[in-house]
Structure 1
Amino acid sequence: MKQPVEQLTIPPGKKAYFSSDNHLGAPNAEASKPRELKFLAWLNTIERDAAAIFLLGDLFDFWFEYKTVVPKGFVRVLGKLAQLRDSGIPIYFFVGNHDLWMQDYFETELNIPVFHKPQLFQLNDKRLFIGHGDGLGPGDKGYKRMKKVFKSPVFQWLFRWVHPDIGVRVAQYLSVKNKLISGDDDHVFLGEENEWLATYAKRKLESAHYDYFIFGHRHLPMRIEVGEQSSYFNLGDWIIHYTYGVFDGSDFELKEFHT
């Protein structure tokens, strides 16, 4: 079945911006605050020429939506995203492995669509395959099995019966300590032939053409040519690298944010 395409025009003088892996709240609120403020400064900077903003997951180190409760904190970021969206800038959110329990809060409160799987976007005449990146490609079988458990309606229903003060605290601890939640991701460059998201991109090219594959999750800014006219980009993170992606209507590049 042919994958649906989200189409978006980037006018002259405007740009689409991409970021991933902020992990706000980790390892604790106090240590996370300077990174949150730096991300807010970036949002303020790109506001003047942003035609669209893509957030590729793990914005929070943990997120779970109870029926009437969401995790405490992140008010400045949520408020800024609401302000950007209200000003008419489209924002797209792709859930990562740390915020995979996101449901409809962003959609109902912020008018930001949430994608739970990678999505094909056509920006002007370029085809961009966009997602967080967890669970794609070969290997990491333990995490893939655990993700199926976490995504099951039964597990989520059971977790909602745990009081938020307990459930959030336990989940935050596991989010930092448990590799089955984080995935097999040591943030070390594996070489172009061994980077599993690049391998995944090459396999996708066997059935269709994509100009750019844009992922997060690896926490390493990188560009790998996966075809004659196709490139895989990883956006890096907002913990060590403070890197982001920019599409100017014809070309994609990685940049580092400096305050």
Structure 2
Amino acid sequence: MSWSALDWGILAPALIAGLLVLATHVPLGTQVLDRGIVFIDLAIAQIAGLGVIAADALGMPEGGIAVQVAAVCAALLGAWLLTWTERRAPEQQEALIGVMFILAACAGILMLSSNPHGGEHLKDLLVGQILWVNTTQLVWLAGVSALLLLAMWLGLVQRFGRFGFYGVFALAVTASVQLVGVYLVFSSLIIPALATRAYRGRNRHRIAYGIGALGYAIGLALSALFDLPSGAVIVWALAACALVGSRVLGSAVGRTQ
């Protein structure tokens, strides 16, 4: 363990990226739990990742506008399919989300099978490269997050019915998955929301944000100190913070009853 590893020149941008991801994923996470479609983010993130893989297979410049367009189009197509399946077979929606996830994952593996760097690309998609985010990526994520939050706050999402929710979800996940990976996208969406599910007060989202921010900060610090993969450590840190937070909130709710 080396305290000199805590280089905030590297860790601070990563923490900012995590906070920006939480900005949209916390409110969306509460809706996901209420709808009972927990694995939607895995499916949408995997579909967006499939768009990135397809763009790379077609020779498009890595990280370029064409790749972003491919990821967004793939995610919105997935959102449209989920809107259609919810209308036609709402009782099977969670199972269909799982099927979409596994189909997208297998399609990605097949597309990367002839790529000599396929394993590395797949790892980056799942675990992400949060320590290597740059200013351009942060500005892009901040802009998308601000627009999505404004749309949710103004109630514009509800005007588009079922597709409004799935579409916003697709855009939020697409903006974050290339920075932090599928695992952190899922964790950011579900873990803080799950930790605060028993709390129905007005400050639920703020508490969830706090739990998520603390998890990111602790995870990044521990990963630097012990030279461990950041994404995996952050997931565990989020889970630990959520466990403690849920116990504290449970005690607080119990005292008020």
Alignment TM-score, normalising by the size of structure 1: 0.25
Give the structure with the larger strand fraction: 1
Alignment TM-score, normalising by the size of structure 2: 0.25
Higher RCO, 1 vs 2 (CA within 8 Å, ≥6 residues apart): 2
Give the structure with the larger helix fraction: 2
